[in-house]
């Protein structure tokens, strides 16, 4: 099983000074993650999502991290693949350059960037995003298979051109797709690419998603594969804060997750702005439940069907507490079928020292347990 850290670069009460600091903080966390034995970092591309994500150019962030590290894999995931965000050939060129400069450490994930805030910024047609993501993956999967790329699809035509430079990994870095629904899990399996799965609903939900993914892998005929290389890797999100003080870790983690949920709910569900002045003495779990109820009410008001994923971000049963608590939770994720644990640590209200200490605790106690040296 692999272990990674995922970055959105979240920020409460943004100012330019705080924004600059949070990006530097993420770099510090990523470098420490390598020192503590993590296998990979992931950086997620979003645009114009104040509070929720200030990682608008993850390829630059990842290049900076790659230059400061030597072994940890560099996860450019997800890239917003609709064409008006990023032309598929430009994604391929940037990916190859980063793979080359990092010594063959790149992994490349795809996503839609589907909020109205993002699509309106770049003039993306929301009705075409699913189709454009798949077509982009086909282009990227074919870009270095021959000396020149020629592609003629339903949405885009590319006459023969060499795609330069070539990546260090052959024929290309492993491909992934962000998955939150059964449809995208099935799509990822049929395309032969890895699944990056939001895990807020808990291990039972993850087990169901793994079953969907495996069933689609078992049923695929190969006619939809985007590359000659198949990547059936199942990565699962794991919100976590681990400290010596178990109760303090839970308080910080649940408070951070509440901010995450409120900020994503603002852009994806039309909820209010995040509550930036969370009362540290309050019952955060109760506050999370109350916030979840508010999200459901807003969705009902807008006649939007409420799916389990709509409020899963408010589930507080995650790897918060001591290292033993984290180990027990990861065992449940492993048993649910996770190939990789993506640690979500940098949530908007979490202090930098708590992020760094969590990475240290995972490296000293949690990861060694699953690699045998601490059993």
pLDDT recorded at residue 40? 98
Beta bridge partners of 316: none
Q: Is 306's pLDDT higher than 50?
A: no
Q: Is 269's pLDDT higher than 70?
A: yes
User: Would 268 be classed as within a structural domain?
Assistant: yes
User: Would 250 be classed as within a structural domain?
Assistant: no
User: Would 251 be classed as within a structural domain?
Assistant: no
Domain span including residue 299: 258-312
Based on the structure, what is the number of domains in the chain?
Answer: 2
In tens, the pLDDT along 290-301 reads 666 665 555 555
pLDDT recorded at residue 108? 98
User: Would 249 be classed as within a structural domain?
Assistant: no
Q: Is 57's pLDDT higher than 90?
A: yes
Based on the domain organization, do 195 and 308 belong to the same domain? no
**DSSP code at position 315:** -
pLDDT recorded at residue 289? 62
Do residues 227 and 172 lie in contact, with contact meaning Cβ atoms separated by under 8 Å? yes
Q: Is 112's pLDDT higher than 50?
A: yes
**DSSP code at position 128:** G
114 — pLDDT class (breaks 50, 70, 90): confident
pLDDT recorded at residue 271? 73
375 — pLDDT class (breaks 50, 70, 90): very low
User: Would 252 be classed as within a structural domain?
Assistant: no
Based on the domain organization, do 301 and 235 belong to the same domain? no
Burial of 296 (0-12, 13-18, 19+ CB in 10 A): middle
Segment among 34-43, 161-170, 194-203, 348-357 with least mean pLDDT: 194-203
Based on the domain organization, do 71 and 140 belong to the same domain? yes
CA distance 374 to 234: 25
Q: Is 348's pLDDT higher than 80?
A: yes
**Closest of 344, 293, 286 to residue 320, by C-alpha:** 344
Based on the domain organization, do 171 and 290 belong to the same domain? no
Q: Is 374's pLDDT higher than 60?
A: no
In tens, the pLDDT along 307-327 reads 545 557 778 899 999 999 999
Based on the domain organization, do 158 and 273 belong to the same domain? no
């Amino acid at each position: 099983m692999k272990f990674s850290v995922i970055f959105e670069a979240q920020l409460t009460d943004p100012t330019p000074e705080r924004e600059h600091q949070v990006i530097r903080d993420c770099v510090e966390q990523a470098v420490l993650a390598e020192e503590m034995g993590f296998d990979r970092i992931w950086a997620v591309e979003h645009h114009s999502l104040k509070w929720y994500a200030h990682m608008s150019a993850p390829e630059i962030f990842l290049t900076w991290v790659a230059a400061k590290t030597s072994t940890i894999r560099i996860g450019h995931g997800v890239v917003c693949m609709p064409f008006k965000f990023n032309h598929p050939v430009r994604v391929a060129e940037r990916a190859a350059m980063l793979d080359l400069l990092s010594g063959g450490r790149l992994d490349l994930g795809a996503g839609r960037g589907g909020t109205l805030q993002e699509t309106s910024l770049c003039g993306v047609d929301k009705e075409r995003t699913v189709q454009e993501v798949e077509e982009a993956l086909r282009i990227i999967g074919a870009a270095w298979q021959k000396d020149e790329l020629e592609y003629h699809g339903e949405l885009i035509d590319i006459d023969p051109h060499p795609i330069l430079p070539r990546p260090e990994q052959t024929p290309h870095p492993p491909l992934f797709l962000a998955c939150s629904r059964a449809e995208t899990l099935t799509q990822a399996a049929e395309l032969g690419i890895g699944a990056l799965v939001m895990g807020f609903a808990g291990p039972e939900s993850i087990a169901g998603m793994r079953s969907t993914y495996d069933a689609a892998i078992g049923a695929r005929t190969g006619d939809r594969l985007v590359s000659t290389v198949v990547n059936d890797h199942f990565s699962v999100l794991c919100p976590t804060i681990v400290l010596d003080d178990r109760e303090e870790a839970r308080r910080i983690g649940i408070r951070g997750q509440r901010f995450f949920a409120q900020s994503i709910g603002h852009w994806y569900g039309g909820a209010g702005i995040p509550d930036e002045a969370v009362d540290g003495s309050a019952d955060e779990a109760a506050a999370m439940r109350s916030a979840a109820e508010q999200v459901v009410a807003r969705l009902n008001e807008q006649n939007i069907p409420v799916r389990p994923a709509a409020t899963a971000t408010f589930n507080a049963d995650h790897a918060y507490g001591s290292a033993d608590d984290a180990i027990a939770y990861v065992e449940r994720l492993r048993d649910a079928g996770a190939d990789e644990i993506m640690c979500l640590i940098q949530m908007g209200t979490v202090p930098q020292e708590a992020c760094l200490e969590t990475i240290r605790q995972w490296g000293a106690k949690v990861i060694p347990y699953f690699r045998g040296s601490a059993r």
